[in-house]
Structure 1
Amino acid sequence: MKYVHLATSGIVLLLWLIFGSYSGPAGLPVPALGNFFHPQKGFWHNSRPKLTDRTKKIGLNLDHPLAKGSVHFDDRGVPHVFAPDLESAAFMQGYVSAADRLWQMDISTRATEGRLSEVLGTRTLARDSMQIRRGFRQAAKNETDTMRVNFPEDMQVLEAYAAGVNAWIDQLKPRQYPVEYKILGHKPLRWSPYRTALLMKGMSQSLSSRYSDAGADKTKADLGEDVFNALFPSRFPADSPIVPDDGRYKKGAETQVQNQVSTALLSTQYAPATAHPKDYAIGASGYDAVSHEPYTLMPAHPDNGSNNWAVDAEHSNTRHPILASDPHLALSLPSIWYEIQISIPGVNARGVSLPGAPGIIMGFNDHIAYGETNVGHDVTDWFRIEWTDEKRTHYLLDGVKTPARIVTDTLHLKGSKPIIIQTPWTVFGPVPYYDGPYADHAMRYLGHDAPGKDVRPHTMAGTFLGLMQAENYDDYVHALKGYIDPAQNFIFAEKNGDIAIRPNGGFPIRAPGQTGRFTTPGNTITNAWRGYVPFSERPVHKNPARGFVSSANQTTTGPNYPYPYTGGFDEYRGRLINRYLSRETTMTQQTMKELQLSSHSLLAEELTPLLIARINRQALTDEGRELLRLISEWDYRCEGESRAATFFEMWRTKVYALTFDEMPSDSGYLQPELWKWNELLKKDARNAVFDIQATPNFKETAATLTQRAFDEIEEELAGELPVPWAEYRNTHVKHLGSIPGFGSELIRTGGARFAPRALSSGHGASWRMVVELGTQPRAWGTLPGGASGDPGSEFYDNCLSDWANGRYHELVRWKDDEEAKRKATGSWTFR
């Protein structure tokens, strides 16, 4: 896609506003046209030369003690920060991040905080209400307060970053605001460590808020325990876990499970109220100034995932470790990630940051490389609360009438009076829902926790600042000790030979008899979490004999690991990656890239022969034989032009739906894992699950359903072949606000959800990185976008085409400020 110049995009927006063709998830309202087209401060000014000019040498005289150092830009617009100390680097990182991504930082943290309705009006009222009720404001506030008291070193860096952001905002005039502010008619929020905490809580929500407790209750109740256990076993027998059993653990080994509830986790946010709550006689439920918003489920997206792996020196052509990492997240413009180099005395790091937070999340320096994938453990439990009154001011806890703590928030609604929202909090957490499957359930969520120094030596901010500066394995381990949520598989490689992966986070230890899989009685404190798995007991895989470590969101550990957990895991990409790495004796940076870009689907490889074997070939029409030939000759690669990939996806989804037609997900039932369905197709084709109850006089089998689905697709196609896979998958990189003209065209390259090159309609590899360690590390990377968040900038999507077509850019680190001055296309000098 070529970037859209704003003078042209203004015409696109005008047509959009006139004809009202947009209906996106955020529900953007029609803006105030007067402000948008205003001759002095309207969108026209966004097409003029920018304050963010990267082709000139600019001196910045900012009245701030941390404004010292330089930012140099390369030919892709990537900033390279050179500073005398960490706080000054954070200040400049905040400044340049705001220059490029201010609206993205603003709107993404508003979404977590429940403040979209200030900008977007009633269309986001239900979402904002749920964000507030589910405690995300409280979570960010608690994290900020804890950091201020317990972790002043981390707070100092976050305050320096915020000062840099605000220094950028303070010198903006309304006509210089990013164009999205003009479209929506609002102003930038000032930045603070609280907003950085909101950003991190938003990532936690995206990656660790999947749960299905109520669905498990319903499914088990309707199917019966035996059928439920058969369809939903606790683990995949043929899994290839991130940390295999290696003799460290023995089945049934004792653990450090505490017998009492951890007081470190029962902070003031969970403690019972000490006084009778005020009688809030507002609204029917007693907790809202207006009618309570209905139940709205906002789970983490199932396509969120990632790959990473590292090979040791013996399996590398350079005789030094090589590391690869590619996180799979929502694809958007501007990109989720922001490329940056940060150089301070003793540290020269490069990688990607999150706009709104200091440091480098994934990257490398002179000594190490690191990256993350999502763990996928269930860290949200729902406790059934027994209220003693209709107003929900008291509940029963161990037979005692216990007052709830009422948290009052204000929701500001554009064009209307503020709304007061009051949420009862119990010892387990907030009670966000009064209707739906989680009505009157307290939400115990890891993302609410903000433990102090008795649990961790630093915060999440300290983790990534520590990784950015790490020199060896011990530094890497220390950095991870402060990390809580969202749990990640932190992969590591060091130039002198060490490789490792540590699934890390605040893994809950649940009460005896409680698994977190179903809703839990909330009438006794004995059902509360016992604490976190001790850091020393969290799984680790270091320098294994097989010569590599890897993760792709699969099961974390082998069956002997003594701490139980549940979650959602992908059992296909990880097995395929491990199979490839096990067979290759020598890896290069090129073969690492090829594996990242592989569109081979192990799901298709295992399932397609089972489906084909159940087709009655003698009964096929000519069109049917052509479809069977198409799928039979397929190599299981989901390339963009493949029609077989499209037919496979149509076929397997239809057979799956027919198999479980009596337990649809939209009716609240769990859906069996694909591996379990494959196992039934292969080993138990006459299982009762294949029988359709709506046809009592006929007993269907796996073969019956497979043939029926095949015939239905043939009829739908009406003699035509399926469309190419890229068209069927329909991948676009949309603008963060779904504004027309600011997103990409159709992505026509290969990739699928269960391939290493994971790609669906709106999710995929948000960053790909390969790092060769050694005396002078070399690295390559690519992302679906560019440095700038300005749709009128040449750096808005200048890397998108290369990303889509599998091309990488070398991630060059300039060694010092002098080299940067010589090679940069432009520079900002702070003084």
Structure 2
Amino acid sequence: MKYFSFIFVLLITLALGYFASVPIGPAPPMGPLMDPNHGFWQNMYSEDEIAEDEIAIPGLQGTVSVTYDENLIPHIFAQNEEDLYRVQGYVTAQHRLWQMEFQTMAAAGRISEIVGPVALELDRMTRRKGLAYGAELGLAYLKEKDPETLKLVEAYAEGVNAYIDQISSAQLPVEYKILNYRPEKWSGYKSLLLLKYMSDMLVGDRDLEYSNLRKILGEELLNKLFPEFPVDNDPVIEADKVWDFEPIQVSKPDSLNFPNDELVIDPLPQPEEGTGSNNWAVSGKKTKNGYPILANDPHLSLNLPSLWYSMQLSTPGHLVKGATLPGALGVISGFNENIAWGVTNATKDARDWYKITFKDETRGSYKYGESWRDSEFRIEEIQIKGQESYIDTVVYTHYGPVVYDKTFKSERQDINFALKWTVHEGSNEQKTFLMMNKAKNHADYNAALDNYTAPAQNFVFASKSGDIAMRIQGKFAVKWKEQGKFFMDGSDPRMEWKEYIPNAHNPSTLNPERGFVSSANQHPVDPSYPYYVFDNSYEHYRNRRLNNRLREMENITVDDMKALQFDDYYLHAAEALPVMINLLGSYLPNDESAKKYMQELKSWDFYADPNQKGPTLFSSWWSKTYSEIWKEWAEFGVPVVRPSNYQTVKLLKEEPASQIFDWGNSASVETASDHVKKGFELMVEEMKKWEEDEGDYAWANFKRTKIQHLVPQFNSFSVENVYTGGGSGILNATGSRHGASWRMVVELGPEIQAFGIYPGGQSGNPGSKFYANFISKWANGEYLNFNLRKPDDSDASLFITTFVSKP
């Protein structure tokens, strides 16, 4: 009976593999899959049941000890860095091999090899964006400029391969068995590819949509609906920051012509609106114990296996602990004996599009100024499981790959659009984290960040010496106003990026007078910053809630910071709901349910806790109202982006009779009140139906947070209906499929106190008790003790494995 539930859900998964309406590829051979000696039965274990006292792997220079705590978190103690990262690779592969390979195959555009033609278009787009090309350039960069980092990256790969070489068919992760393939050898290239994959996950651009809106609305209305600085701008770097450098001067060239076509291609996928990340640090003058406290909670897709894998990495020179990315070296968000750091996405436009004019149909050359430049061609062979390979030819210009052309997404338009992206320029993000893991002070932190290019991140910092800091780091082009906001003409050299903002000019702050630093994906700076800064996706609610609370708080404790990470206050609702109720006036449908819903809304305290009904009603009412306001935009017939929630509330409050609310294709004149009333009626309909079909409409039941397996069809390996609060635009930004992928709080006193949690478990094996065992704690806002271990600490050890050199 011990594994009955696992067997049950696995059999359901196998049935899905055969009968799902969206197939994931050819069904696996049932004989090997059901074989009691090699099939899925062999995955019904927890790691402590198969622990080994000693493991021999090639290449070790000394003995390495790995102590696992009660949560299967490994603490690696090595005598040198090569051994450290070699064993990190082995141990990570032991628990996350399938995830590591699946994510890098996705980044390389190779999912069709696993699941068949259903993934072909996804793979084509991934290849055309040039992620693999970027990783190749990164590897070449290491070979030429940083052989020391390359040596450590290769040591990690050797550790992964040592595990792959030892793994038997019976030990293969169950996903390999279901999908019927085997792991291939790891390489340093794959580790770099993983970091490019993170860039792709976190970067966005709206050049396509803004170009369309510029043509449809005109510049005046566009700027009104999409202001580059919000009225309530509370930026990452404090607004009173004095910039102490002489900026590079740039001005917009005269007589520039942006391409004026209406563009009907499908835009690239964008990061989901309303999700994001938080990080902050408070100085000792604001804390109860007088020590800095740092907090970080990046919000990403909620997946199983988890995006993160917790580890401690130790040599005689340093101890570092935190969240690692399976496949990458070192700790990404964490702390050591001297400092702590964390990251949030900087949401700064670093990806631009250029319209290419080819000389002829061969696309062998393209116009640039008064001359023609030669194109390069990259042949992409996409292997497809069960079919012949698909051959795609991607044209490369000096800007980057021509992602959209006559062979891709061109059914409705003759297009040739090239992508300019810092991912394609060769960089060494891996070195940033290797250096940060060993950093001792603010100078070391800055030196580490000087190696970092993409994706742009807000790096928060705190140290035992008392410093707190924030730096927005990436490789950013020096741009004239509106450069990169719209599609640009690739034949005009004046549209070209000319140079980059020096690292020393990137926005940063050290020990500001207010006693804290923070970021929540909002605008990085105020208008006094001397370089052009633009992005469509800046956050407008979490940042203000966070900063307001940090300004108010004194005698702060670690528990206060945990509570702030789990804060459910719905600022958007607090600002929008009174405006909507006012616009509703005395109107109320003659319906008892409508009266009940309104009473619940009026008595709501604006906290999106899981048992509250107010957030459900507001979420539905706002969604319906917002859709009604901007519904006519769907008739434009081309991709556009709609105004933000923040800007829409501002219009409802300040200009309720504006022509913006009037639909041009109706006989009557609509005002904001009309849309709010219609939205309320639609909310009442939705909620009455919900009560009939589902019953309780408390927020957690309505939101239905799901921690989903990386293969969506493997639903049996997911965890559904997680009972937790929060939501988009809330500090606890836990929606249905996105949320805090990692929470960490560190107090930097003489003895560092650290706490962490993520929604999953250390194991990638659905049959293990360590697969999802953190989820209930995470959902309740609880944490694990994350303090550093010393080599001689043996308390609460699950088991210890010693690694020795294999002859």
Normalised TM-score (structure 2): 0.93
Return the alpha-carbon distance in structure 2 between the equivalents of residues 519 and 3 of structure 1: 56
Runs of 5+ unmatched residues, structure 2: 254-264
Check conservation: 2:588, 2:595, Cα contact below 8 A: no
Contact 2:208 2:267 in 1 (8 A): no
Distance in 2 between the 1:610 and 1:616 partners?
10
Offset, 1:5:
5.7
Instruction: Tell whether the 8 Å contact from 2:252 to 2:481 is kept in structure 1 after alignment.
Output: no
Match of 1:533 among 456, 476, 501: 501
Aligned-partner residue type, residue 224 of structure 2: A
Amino acid at match of 1:36: L
> Is the Cα–Cα contact under 8 Å of residues 328 and 758 in structure 1 kept in the other structure?
yes
State the SS of the aligned residue for 1:383: strand
Of 6, 20, 37, the match for 2:34:
37
Q: What does residue range 426-441 of structure 1 map to in structure 2 within 5 Å?
A: 426-434=397-405, 435-436=409-410, 439-441=415-417
Residue in structure 1 matching 2:420, options 436, 439, 444 = 444
Give 1:630's aligned residue: 600
In the alignment, is residue 702 of structure 1 matched against residue 672 of structure 2? yes
- What amino acid maps onto 1:522 in structure 2? G
Alpha carbons 1:5, 1:793 under 8 Å: kept: no
What is the CA-CA distance between 1:298 and the residue it aligns to?
2.7
Distance 1:389 1:829, change over 3 A: same
Match of 1:490 among 451, 459, 463: 459
2:546 to 555, 572, 577: 577
- 5 Å matches for 1:392-791? 392-434=363-405, 435-436=409-410, 439-451=415-427, 459-510=428-479, 512=480, 514-567=482-535, 568-617=537-586, 619-621=588-590, 622-664=592-634, 667-696=638-667, 698-718=668-688, 723-738=697-712, 739-791=714-766
Residue 361 of structure 2 is aligned to residue 367 of structure 1: no
The offset of 1:39, in angstroms, is 4.2
Superposed displacement of residue 616, structure 1: 3.0
Aligned to 1:133: 128
Is the contact made by 1:295 and 1:433 (CA closer than 8 Å) also made in structure 2? no
2-side partners of 1:640 and 1:241: how far apart?
Answer: 30
**Residue 111 of structure 1 pairs with residue 111 of structure 2:** no
The change in CA–CA distance for 1:39 and 1:256 in structure 2 (over 3 A counts) is same
Per the alignment, do residues 707 and 366 of structure 1 end up closer, same or farther by CA in structure 2, a change over 3 Å counting?
same
Contact 2:70 / 2:797 at 8 angstroms: preserved in 1?
yes
Greater CA drift, 723-732 or 556-565: 723-732
Q: Do the aligned residues in 2 keep the contact of 1:70 with 1:827 (CA within 8 Å)?
A: yes
The secondary structure found in structure 2 opposite 1:200 is: helix
Task: Please state how far the C-alpha of 1:30 moved relative to its aligned partner.
Answer: 2.7
CA deviation profile, 1:185-208 (whole Å, cap 9, x unmatched): 111021111000110000000011
Shift of 1:663: 1.2
Please give the residue correspondences for 1:281-300 in structure 2 after superposition, counting only pairs within 5 Å. 297-300=268-271
AA matched with 1:535: N
C-alpha distance in 2, partners of 1:593/1:78? 21
* SS class of match (2:423): helix
Instruction: Give me the whole-angstrom Cα distance separating, in 1, the residues matched to 2:637 and 2:551.
Output: 41
Confirm or deny: 8 A CA contact 1:212 1:670 kept in the other structure. Answer: yes
Q: Deviations over 1:294-316 (max 9, x none)?
A: 96733333355100111100101
Paired residue type of 1:733: I
Query: Secondary structure, in 3 states, of the residue corresponding to 1:700?
Result: coil
Aligned to 2:170: 175
Contact kept in structure 1, 2:10 and 2:716, CA below 8 Å: no
Task: Kindly indicate whether residue 806 of structure 2 is the aligned counterpart of residue 826 of structure 1.
Answer: no
Contact 2:570–2:608, Cα closer than 8 Å, also in 1: yes
- Conserved 8 A contact 1:67-1:91: no
Residue 172 of structure 1 and its aligned partner are, at CA, apart by 0.9
- Indicate how the Cα distance of structure 1 residues 55 and 107 shifts in structure 2: closer, same or farther if over 3 A, else same: closer
Larger CA deviation: 388-397 vs 552-561? 388-397
Report 1:243-258 matches (<5 A). Answer: 243-249=237-243, 255-257=247-249
Q: 2:198 aligns with which of 203, 215, 225?
A: 203
- The one-letter amino acid paired with 1:108 is Q
Is the 2:758–2:774 Cα contact (8 Å) retained in structure 1? yes
| Contact 2:57/2:159 (<8 A) preserved | no
The DSSP-based 3-state class of the residue aligned with 2:485 is coil
User: Does the 8 Å CA contact 2:705/2:724 hold for their aligned counterparts?
Assistant: no
> Does the 8 A contact of 1:339 with 1:352 survive in 2?
yes
Name which of 300, 320, 323 aligns with 2:291. 320
Pairwise CA distance, 1:811: 0.4
d(CA) in 1 for partners of 2:298, 2:43: 32
Q: Is the 8 A contact 1:387 1:394 kept in 2?
A: yes
How far does the alpha carbon of each residue in 1:335-377 deviate from its partner, in whole angstroms, 9 at most, with x for none?
Answer: 1000001111121111010000110001111111110000001
Tell me how far apart the structure 2 counterparts of residues 86 and 3 of structure 1 sit (CA, whole Å): 40
* Cα shift at 1:671: 0.8
Pairwise CA distance, 1:22? 6.0
Kept after mapping to 1: 8 A contact 2:728/2:735: yes
Task: Pick closer, same or farther for the CA change 1:232–1:17 going to 2, 3 Å.
Answer: closer
Match for residue 318 of structure 2 among 340, 343, 347: 347
Query: How far apart in 2 are the matches of 1:440 and 1:112?
Result: 23
Deviations 1:673-704 (A, max 9, x none): 211111111111111111122322x1111111
Q: 2: CA distance between counterparts of 1:676 and 1:656?
A: 11
**Partners of 1:770 and 1:609 in 2: CA distance:** 35
How far apart are 1:748 and its partner, in Å? 1.5
Note the C-alpha offset of 1:541: 1.5
Say whether 1:226 aligns with 2:197. Answer: no
Displacement of 1:17 = 3.8
Instruction: Give me the whole-angstrom Cα distance separating, in 2, the residues matched to 1:740 and 1:66.
Output: 44
Q: SS of the counterpart of 2:323? A: strand
AA matched with 2:426 = A
State the distance in 2 between where 1:790 and 1:535 align. Answer: 42
Does residue 1:389 correspond to 2:381, yes or no? no
Match of 1:271 in 2: none
The verdict on how the C-alpha distance between 1:780 and 1:22 changes in structure 2, with shifts beyond 3 A counting, is farther
C-alpha deviation, 1:720, in angstroms? 7.5
Q: CA deviation at 1:638?
A: 1.0
- Give the partner amino acid of 2:247: T
C-alpha change, 1:666 and 1:501, in structure 2 (3 Å) is farther
Task: Give the deviation of 1:462 after TM superposition.
Answer: 1.0
- The 3 A distance-change label for structure 1 pair 394 and 618 is closer
Note the C-alpha offset of 1:57.
5.3
Q: Which amino acid is 1:607 matched to?
A: A
- State the AA in 2 paired with 1:809: L
Amino acid at match of 2:116: G
Answering whether residue 188 of structure 2 is matched by residue 214 of structure 1, we say no
Partner in structure 1 of residue 10 of structure 2: 10
Secondary structure of 2:567 counterpart: coil
- Partner of 1:741, secondary structure, is helix
TM-score, normalised with respect to structure 1: 0.90
- Distance, in Å, in 1 between the alignment partners of 2:489 and 2:575 is 41
Query: Cα offset for 1:419?
Result: 2.3
The aligned amino acid for 1:813 is L
Gap change, CA 1:343 and 1:405, over 3 Å in 2: same
Could you tell me whether the CA contact under 8 Å between 2:303 and 2:707 is conserved in 1? yes
Kindly report the root-mean-square deviation, in angstroms, between the aligned alpha carbons of the 2 structures. Answer: 2.2
- Higher mean alpha-carbon deviation, 337-346 vs 656-665, is at 656-665
| Pairing 1:61-140 to 2, within 5 Å after superposition | 61-66=56-61, 68-140=63-135
1:576 and 1:184 mapped to 2: Cα distance?
Answer: 45
CA pair 245-506 structure 1, distance change in 2 beyond 3 A: same
Deviation at 1:37, TM superposition (A): 1.9
Cα deviation, residue 806, structure 1: 1.1
